[in-house]
Chain A
Amino acid sequence: PRGSRVLFQQPLLRLGRPGLGRVRAKGKLADLPGNATAARSAPETRPRPSARAFETVRFLCTFRRVQTTRGAWFFCTKPAAPGAAGTPPRPRPAMRRTREEVDATLQIAKLNAAELLPTVHCLGFGPGASAAAGDFCLLELEPALCEQLEAGHSLVIRGDKDEQAVLCSRDKTYDLKIADTSNMLLFIPGCKTPDQLQMEETHCNIIHTEIFGFSNNYWEVRRCRPKLKKLKKLLMENTYEGPDSQKEKDSSHPKYTTEDLLDRIQASEEEIMAQLQVLNACEIRGYWRILEFDYEMKLLNHVTQLVDSESWPFSKVPLSICLQELGPLEPEEMIEHCLKCYGKKYIEDGEVYFELSADKICRATAQMLLQNAVKFNLTEFQEVWQQSVPEGMVTRLDQLKGLALVDRHSRPEIIFLLKVDDLPEDNQERFNSLFSLREKWTEGDIAPYIQDLCGEKQTIGALLTKYSRSSVQNGVKVYNSRRPIS
């Protein structure tokens, strides 16, 4: 109508079925000459949406208020493309909607206010809403991570330029991926759910809510194995051979503190600490060091010879006497470290004792024997091995799982060193290397070499099904590679 002022305040919400053009609602303005033409004129000028957008319902939605001289508000469609109705008026800063306006909208929408809760949220875009992508984002959390954040703990994303990023909490590691969605995700502070509104005692009837931002992608996390192979690699760069070794006097050799390791390894702190213990690493003057194997064996020999000469039981080795007797030979911290690696500490009558582990000592002795040859005659090895361990300890082949492999098909039967930590970390590469070593494996033989690949709730059986093919040979189930190994 003449004299009316047209205010453009709303953003364009584009939701439309592809190919159908815009859905136009008839309204007062559209019926007027001139404007009607404009409203019907424009076919969809946007390019045809992609296949993915096909899923989204797209329609043009505008909201425009026209003030008549009488002060009542109407909702009308707007003319089509810019320029069709002349230069568009300058947008005014958004004014806060009033309850009367909301009620008027409800009336026109033919919604019965009695069926609605009294509170309305008037949603608008906050000042930072159009901020550049990357300034804010959504992270999908597993319940464990959510609890950590609520307790005030931080999370860390770790990765090199050429690595896949991982997210670490204090004790778990997660793969990080970006998930795209064709839907729009708006994040809204201060927006209440119906349950929350109904629990409130006083009901205000209008809440002006600002949309903080929006996104059409989010970060997705999935629990994964920590990437710990690098840890051993770093620590092996400079093994510890004792305080008197030449290496210790030269400070140019790489050494790593806990912080240094956290900076380089894609794993959580607790997982790194656990692995350091598995590697028998020792914190010497603030740096984590792996002992050179011969040095470690030298320490162990001192201990076992002392146990033998004192006729102590293996389950009750007193710390204080060890330090006293062996102190002149080696640093006390190293003797204590050796006892910790090969035994379990306990206190009795105020004295510290260690219960030595026969399994660990036999295993270390086997490694010492096996690493000097490519392969051993099995029978000969078993004899020498039994003779080399401290008297009273019994050797068993199952102590060597993940360390050595027996070949029962060769004549004579042989045994050779095969350490699981020398094998690749990636699942497919691990299986490739195992199958290139030996074509067919029984489950008993291969299990120790793939046990560490099992993720949460994943079994050896599942891994074998995925990465190998099974067959029966001489009544025994064996596994081989799914594809030819070059």
Chain B
Amino acid sequence: VLHTTRPLHTTQQSLAPVPPLPEKGGEVRHGVIPEEFFQFLYPKTGVTGPYMLGTGLLLYLLSKEIYVVNHETAAAACILSVIVYAIKKFGPNVAAFADKLNEEKMASALAMKNEAIETLQKAIDEEKKEQWRVEGRTYLFDAKRNNIAMLLETNYRERLLMVYNEVKKRLDYQVAMQTLKRQKEQEHMIQWVEKNVVQSITPQQQKESIAKCILDLKALSKSAHAAV
């Protein structure tokens, strides 16, 4: 059963951002004794209290032979002196080196963070530009509509032209048919008339016409003689 009415994340506690590390660790005096011990004894014994305590303890241990002085004591003394000398001499160098390493780590982490922020910012800008582009879609659709209207118009006109051509072809055919028919009729009539006329010239008529022509010629020649 999921309690949908239960509020989630009511407290402010969250894992990020992580609180930064403290700058310096707890204070330690002489490398082995924490500072809190000195502060603990300060109200009652002042500044020299813990040192007095340390000296007294040391003398007690030595005199009661709780701490036995033997060959190991000499070795420990030499080793400790060398260690202290080394630390005093090379301490700051090592500290600077470690700080440099830390700085590099921090710098690379910061660089990554900045890069991520920049990439995201660029993505945001790109997105905004895309949104602006979307606003231009009205123009796009107007252009498309114009294109389609032009296509339709072109198609209509093409078909109109085709219809006109077809109709003209049919009408031309009719006209050509009529002229041909008239021509043929004319030719046929002329031939028929000529044939009939030639047939109607009988031989008797031919002789008469020839005799008339001769008489005419004689008359003409007489008039011509006379003229000359």
Query: Are both chains from one complex?
Result: no
